Amino acid sequence: MNISKIIKDKQYYKFCAYGFMKNLRFFEPFFILYFMSKGISFLEIGTLYAVREIAINLFEIPSGIIADALGRRKTLASSFLIYIIAFIIFYLYSSFSLFLFAMLFYALGDAIRSGINKAMIVDYLNRTNQINYKVEYYGHTRSWSQFGSAISSLAGGVLLFFNKNLDAIFLFSIIPYLIDFFNVLSFPKYLDEGQRKHLSTKGNIKFITTSFIQAVKSKTLLHSVINSAIYSGYYKAIKDFIQPFLKSLILSIPLFLYLSNDEKTALFLGLIYFVIFLVNSFVSRRASKIENLFDSQTAFLNFTLLFGIIVGLISGVFMEFFNSAFAVILFVIVLSIENGRKPSGVANITEKCNDKIHAGILSVQSQLASLFAATIMISIGLIADMSSVGVGIIISSFVILLFYPILRIKSY
């Protein structure tokens, strides 16, 4: 495919800006360290993450009702205001129960945002006759999201280095979310015309149920949804749990001894995540080229699922038994695979279902990814309290590998 066919008009840059701004969460490279600083155990941390992921599923129907009332643009914009409430709670409080409350707001923001932007992009590509280039388009917009994460990590490290306060980073994260709020409101009004518009509450429930039933009834579609969801869930579960290992690795390096432990952690952890997400951005932008190295999209998705989980397992081995920086390189590969395969996963799913339920099927995929992520997070947290994070990642990865034969996409 010729990437030059993508029309880089004003809306293209607005979609890219949306992805860039939404990932400016300056606290993310330090999120688990933040919870640990408040005396929260690994199991409690896993529970907080799991509650967020499960709540996303539960809030899916209410988010549809909000979309009916406000339209896609205002719904997407409102999600940023809800995130800001969560940031304020994290800034003001330090208890597990209130963190649970904050995670519910976080989940509501994710649920409202989930699927809407992808569905808007599909509608926009159909309207502008670019639908054949959706893998490239998703790859471009996702690369800007990852670039946002890279800048966010570096900026978060700098903010923590000079501010010495993990709590304050949540306040800084409010600024880009307010900017994205107004960016989304500037999207064309015709993008409000989604399939859910004017549906009743009963209609919303029927819409998602119909989407789920179609996914279950179609074996090819079901395998595509599960294949995409399991790796996304795995990615969500392990991407933050490496933070304690990175901190211990950073503090063990006999460099910059004139810096305090907190200063070294802030500077180098931010820099490491900057590099990680920069690599992810590079991979996302070249997602279609990487896919074209394989015989088919199906072969690409199957290989990356298997290879990514194996690499994740090996990274856990190096974390646990060797305390080696090589674990970080393997971890970067795991994250890069998610960002390389996600555009193809979305395209593979939408090609196998009716245009009218694209948003619904993508919502089902997102819900399954959240369910898988919640299960893996609690498992890693429980095992980490009994043993270590490395062992938790090893066992979780091994269990997923056992189920690979039923997770791969099959040809019928």
User: What pLDDT, on a 0 to 100 scale, did the predictor assign at position 3?
Assistant: 44
Q: Residue 412 domain-assigned? A: no
- How many angstroms separate the most distant Cα atoms in the chain? 63
Of 147, 170, 72, residue with least CA distance to 339: 147
Other C-beta atoms closer than 10 Å to the C-beta of 5 total 12
Q: Does the pLDDT value for residue 197 go beyond 50?
A: no
Residue 277: domain span: 8-407
Candidate ranges 64-73, 192-201, 336-345; pick with highest mean pLDDT: 336-345
- Please classify residue 255 by burial: count the beta carbons closer than 10 Å to its beta carbon, then call 0-12 exposed, 13-18 middle and 19+ buried: exposed
The domain that holds 347 is classified in CATH as 1.20.1250.20
The total number of structural domains that make up the chain: 1
- Radius of gyration of the chain from its Cα atoms, rounded to whole angstroms: 20
Using one digit for the tens of pLDDT, what is the confidence trace for 69-86?
677 788 888 889 999 999
Total Cβ atoms within 10 A of residue 217: 9
Token couple for 191 = 């993008």
Look at residue 3 and tell me if it is in a domain: no
Task: Provide the token pair at 58.
Answer: 């539960």
Residue 205 lies in a domain: yes
Q: Which of 371, 381, 405, 332 is nearest to 36 (CA)?
A: 381
* 389 within domain boundaries: yes
Distance of alpha carbon 249 from alpha carbon 269, whole angstroms: 10
**Which tens digit of pLDDT belongs to each residue from 124-163?**
888 888 777 777 787 788 778 878 888 888 888 888 888 7
pLDDT of residue 198: 46
Average pLDDT over residues 311-326: 86
Give the whole-angstrom CA distance, residue 280 versus residue 308: 14
DSSP 253: S
Q: Please name which of 368, 278, 271, 290 lies closest in space to residue 56, comparing C-alpha atoms.
A: 368
Main-chain phi, psi angles of 308, to 5 degrees: -65, -40
- CA 338 to chain CA mean position, Å: 9
pLDDT per position as a tens digit, 17-58: 998 999 999 998 888 889 988 989 999 998 998 898 888 877
CB atoms within 10 A of CB 68: 18
pLDDT at 91 over 90: yes
CB atoms within 10 A of CB 412: 6
In a domain, 2, yes or no: no
Residue 121 resides in a domain: yes
